[in-house]
Structures are given as C-alpha cells and as structure tokens.
Amino acid sequence: MTAPPRYWTREFVDALAEALGRSDRFQRAASGFSEALILRCLDTPDRQDCAATFIFERGRLVRHSYEAYDAPSRLRGQPFDNKSALARSTAPYGLWVRLDRGEISVPQALLSPDYDIQGSKLKIMRYVGVLTAMNAVVAALPKTY
C-alpha cells in the first residue's frame, strides 16, 4: 500500500481531480457550473509556491493543471485575468491546512485577511455551494501534511 500524497503536491492535486469526478455530492452541487478556478498555495513545506487550475464544464472537471516554483516565486506578482477564470484564491499553506482540517469554513476563509480571492465577488458568492462541496472532497481525501 502506498502512502497518501502530501497536501499541495502534484500527486495530491491529481488525486483531487480524480475524486471530484467520483463525488456524487460535488456533482450535484456543481451540475450547472462551467467555470475555471485557480487555487494558489504559498510557502509549502517544500518552500514552494504552487498553483492548481481546475476547469469545469457543467459540473464535470474537464482539465486540471499544477505548477510549483521556489518561494517566493513569480506567481505572487502575476496579474489575474478574470476572463480566464471565475476566481483565483491565494493563501499561505497554514491557512489551507486549517480549511482542510475544518478549523475554518469556506465562508470564513473568504473573509480572512490571509486569504486573497480575486474575481467578481457576486459571481463567487453565487457558487459558494460548489466551493463548499469541493472543499468537502478535498477534506475527505487521505493525505499527509
């Protein structure tokens, strides 16, 4: 048996992409969701900044990508193109871990000064149910920190 992947690694993001397709709860919540989401994690235990992009069509994940760079990286200064994604969320590794462990909720993370979200706040709030269902899939995945 292989060890579970560490949070915020390529292996973890690939496992998440697979799990999103298997989750009935996520599929129900995201049935009409056709958007791209960019999630970025700063200062991982590997001293990297990472970005994962998820592209959905009618609730189905059709493509995902992962990139990582030594921190502090060029990711931190990249402008956000709101025509290419609904939202881009950026937070330090510690905040992502708190969200994953259920110590804070998605709405609480959205209000945190350490959680930077870019995109139309009105559109993002419309999809809080999708984001919450996605977070539940993330939290349920076996992983190490």
CA distance 114 to 43: 13
Query: Does the pLDDT at position 58 exceed 80?
Result: yes
Give pLDDT tens digits for 4-46.
999 999 999 999 999 999 999 999 999 999 999 999 999 999 9
Give pLDDT, residue 125: 86
Within a domain: 144:
no
- 92: domain CATH number? 3.30.1050.10
59 to 21, 73, 129: CA distances (angstroms)? 9, 31, 12
The phi and psi torsions of 116 (rounded to 5 degrees) equal: -100, 120
Give pLDDT tens digits for 67-96.
999 999 999 999 999 899 999 999 999 999
Could you list the residue range(s) of the whole structural domain that residue 123 is in? 10-139
Distant-in-sequence, close-in-space partners of 57: CB < 8 Å, separation ≥ 6: 34
Q: How many domains does the chain have?
A: 1
Within a domain: 3:
no
Side chain identity, residue 112: S
Give pLDDT, residue 111: 84
Within a domain: 54:
yes
